[in-house]
A and B are shown apart, each in its own frame.
Chain A
Amino acid sequence: MDKLQQVNKNWIFGAATVALLFILPFVLARFGTTGEFWIWVTTEMIIMALFATSLNLILGFGGMVSFGHAAFFGVGAYTVALLMKKAGVSLILALIAAPCVAGLTAAIIGWFCVRLIGLYFAILTLAFGQLLYMIAFQWYTFTGGDDGIHGIPKPDFLGPTNYYLLCLVVFIACFLVMRMIVNSSFGLSIRLTRENLDRAKFIGINVRRYQLINFIMAGFFAGIAGGLFAELNRFAQTEFLHWSRSGDAIFACLVGGMYSFVGPAIGSSVLIFLHIVLQQIHQSLVEIWAIILGFILLGMVLFAPEGLVGLYGKITRKLKT
Chain B
Amino acid sequence: MGIEFYLFLLINGLSQGMVLFIVASGLSLVFGVLRVINFAHGSLYMIGAFLAFSLSTLLPAGSIFSFLLLMLLVPLAVALLGLGLEIPLFRRIYGKEHLLQLLLTYALLLILDDACRLIWGGDIRNVARPDLLAGSIKFFDMFLPTYNVFILVVGPLIAVGLWFLLYRTRAGNLIRAAVSHPEMVGALGVNVSRVMTATFMLGCWLAGLGGVLMSALANIDLGIGMEKIIECFAVVVIGGLGSIGGALLGSLILGVGVAFIQLPLSRAAIVFPYFAMALILIIRPWGLFGKPER
Q: Given the known inter-chain contacts A63-B99, A112-B281, A134-B270, please indicate yes or no for A126 contacting B230, CB distance below 8 A.
A: yes
Docked complex Cα distance between A67 and B226 (Å): 13
Question: Does A127 belong to the interface (CB within 8 Å)?
Answer: yes
Q: How far is the CA of A294 from the CA of B267 in the complex (A)?
A: 33
Residues of B within 8 Å of A126, CB to CB, are: 39, 230, 233
B226 close to A243 (CB less than 8 A): yes
**Chain A 116-139 near chain B by CB (<8 Å), digits 1 or 0:** 101110111011101100110010
Which chain A residues border B104 with CB–CB below 8 Å?
297-298, 301-302
Binary flags per residue of A285-314, CB closer than 8 Å to B gives 1, else 0: 001111101110110011001000000000
Residues from chain B with a CB closer than 8 A to the CB of A266 are none
**Is B241 interfacial (CB 8 A cutoff)?**
yes
Q: Does B237 contact A (CB under 8 A)?
A: yes
A115 to B: closest C-beta gap in Å:
5
| Minimal Cβ-Cβ distance residue in B for A298 | B107
In the complex where A63-B99, A131-B271 touch, is A116 in contact with B281 (Cβ < 8 A)?
yes
Q: How far is the CA of A128 from the CA of B233 in the complex (A)?
A: 11
Asked whether B4 is an interface residue with its Cβ less than 8 Å from the other chain, the reply is: no
Q: In the assembly, what is the distance between CA of A112 and CA of B31, in Å?
A: 22
B37 at the A interface (CB under 8 A): yes
Decide if A254 is an interface residue (CB 8 Å cutoff): yes
Are A119 and B114 closer than 8 Å at their CB atoms? no
Residue A182 at the chain B interface, CB threshold 8 Å: no
Residues of A close to B277: CB separation below 8 A: 124, 127
CB distance from B81 to the nearest CB of A (A): 15
> Using Cβ atoms and an 8 Å threshold, which residues of chain A touch B234?
127
- Contact B278 A301, beta carbon cutoff 8 Å: no
Chain B facing A: main interface SS = helix
Nearest Cβ on chain B to A67's Cβ, whole angstroms: 7
Q: Are B103's CB and A127's CB within 8 A?
A: no
Given A65-B99, A112-B278, A298-B89, the answer on whether A290 and B237 have CB atoms closer than 8 Å is no
The answer to whether A297 touches B102 (Cβ under 8 A) is no
Given known A-B contacts A118-B98, A130-B226, A301-B100, A247 and B106 have beta carbons under 8 A apart:
yes
Query: CA separation between A138 and B270, bound complex, in Å?
Result: 10
A-side binding surface: helix, strand, loop or mixed? helix
Does A250 count as interface, using CB distance less than 8 angstroms? yes
Docked pose: A135 CA to B233 CA in angstroms:
19
Task: Name the residue of chain B whose CB is nearest to the CB of A140.
Answer: B267
Closest chain B CB from A120 CB (angstroms): 7
A294-B108 contact, Cβ under 8 Å, with A63-B99, A65-B99, A301-B93: yes
Restricting to B72-119, which residues have a CB under 8 Å from any CB of A?
A: 89, 92-93, 98-100, 102-104, 106-111, 113-115, 118
The residues of A with any CB-CB pair to B shorter than 8 Å are: 59, 63, 65, 67, 112, 115-116, 118-120, 122-124, 126-128, 130-131, 134-135, 138, 243-244, 247, 250, 254, 287-291, 293-295, 297-298, 301-302, 305
- Chain A to chain B contacts (Cβ below 8 Å), 30 pairs: A65-B98, A67-B39, A67-B106, A112-B278, A112-B281, A115-B281, A115-B285, A116-B285, A119-B37, A120-B285, A122-B98, A126-B39, A126-B230, A127-B277, A131-B274, A134-B270, A134-B271, A135-B271, A250-B106, A291-B110, A291-B111, A291-B118, A293-B107, A294-B111, A294-B114, A297-B106, A298-B107, A301-B100, A301-B104, A302-B93
Sample of 13 more A-B contacts, CB < 8 Å, known A65-B98, A67-B39, A287-B118? A63-B99, A65-B102, A119-B241, A120-B285, A124-B277, A126-B39, A127-B274, A134-B270, A243-B226, A250-B106, A293-B107, A294-B107, A302-B92
